[in-house]
Amino acid sequence: MSDREIPTSDADWREELSDEQYRVLREAGTERPFSGEYVDLFEDGSYRCAGCGAELFDSDTKFEHGCGWPSFSDANEGAVEFREDHSHGMERVEVVCANCEGHLGHVFEDGPEPTGERYCINSAALEFDDRDQ
C-alpha cells in the first residue's frame, strides 16, 4: 500500500501524471520498446507505482530479457492484480496495480526460475527508489 492519496477523477489523474504516464496507467498504453528509463537500470532498490506510490517490485527480481521493457520474475505479494486482455487480437494477462488499478504491463510464462514468469512492465508506470540513497 501507499500513503499517497489516490486521485478520484479523470481530471485529477491528468493533473498528477505526465501525458505518457496517463496514457500507460489510465488508458492501458504501451511505451515504445527500449525507450523507458528503467529498461537498463539494475541498481539495488524497489519499484513503485507511478500513479499511487505502492511498492510493486523489488530489484532482486529484475532481470535482463532483451524485450525492450523492464522485466521482473515476481511481484511483491498482493501488489498486483491480473486481468484477461484480448486486445490487439492476442490472449494476454494484463498486470495492474492492486492499489489504484493502473495498467502496468503484462505477465508471460517465459521467465526464469523459480517462478517461470516475466512481468513485462512499462517504465512510465514505475518510480524507482534507490536503496543506497
- pLDDT tens readout for residues 10-61: 999 999 999 999 999 999 999 999 999 999 999 999 999 999 999 999 999 9
- Tell me which CATH code domain 10-130 carries: 2.170.150.20
Asked about 120 being catalytic, the answer comes back as: yes
Model pLDDT, residue 2: 64
The residue assigned the cell 527508489 is 129
Instruction: Report how far apart, in Å, the C-alpha atoms of 73 and of each of 22, 76, 108 are.
Output: 25, 10, 10
Q: Is 80 helix (H, G, I), strand (E, B) or coil?
A: strand
Annotated catalytic residue: which of 49, 52, 97, 120? 120
pTM of the model as a whole: 0.93
